[in-house]
Amino acid sequence: MVGLVSRSGREMQRYNSNGGRQVVGCIPYKYKQNIDGSMSNELEVLLVTSQKTPTFMFPKGGWELDESLEEAACRESLEEAGVIGIVEHELGEWSFISKRYGIYYEGHMFPLLVKEQLDIWAEKNLRTRLWMNVVEARDACQHWWMKEALDILVHRLNLYQNNNDTYN
């Protein structure tokens, strides 16, 4: 079974030139199924609670020295949310101030098209995961930079959908 233990410690952590952590996150997403089993156009995204508070965010964590950004995004989604999928093109990079240390961290966000949702995963007992529509997710997410990433994802998926409608 994969993903039953989370990585811990900071010895493999990457830091930016100012000493701030470099973190990577994903917006796990899927399209809601209709009653007949067909796929709808309604987008759902998966949020998880913080380990320390009941506030929601997208899965994210430290980018480590032995992995690519995409590998870190997959690992964090598996550890924190128990989902496996396809990491798509990066949504962007944000600079934000750490509440704890008051220094600028660097955050990278990716979309993750979910292919499998596990019943057991590393942080199942530490977090709650919840599928939400985009409006609910934007309201629930505690980080401004993750909300911006969600807006970019929605825009990108809408463009993709509109282009497919045009050519079909």
pLDDT digits (tens, 9 = 90+) for 121-167: 999 999 999 999 999 999 999 999 999 999 999 999 998 777 665 44
Q: Is the pLDDT of residue 93 over 50?
A: yes
Q: What's the CA angle centered on 34, arms 147 and 164, to 5 degrees?
A: 65
Q: What is the pLDDT of residue 164?
A: 62
Mean per-residue pLDDT of the chain? 91
Q: What is the pLDDT of residue 168?
A: 44
Rounded to whole angstroms, the Cα distance separating 57 from 38 reads 29
Q: What is the pLDDT of residue 167?
A: 46
Give residue 37's region: left, alpha or beta (phi > 0; psi -120 to 50).
left
Q: What is the pLDDT of residue 160?
A: 74
Domains of the chain: 22-167 (3.90.79.10)
Give residue 82's region: left, alpha or beta (phi > 0; psi -120 to 50).
left
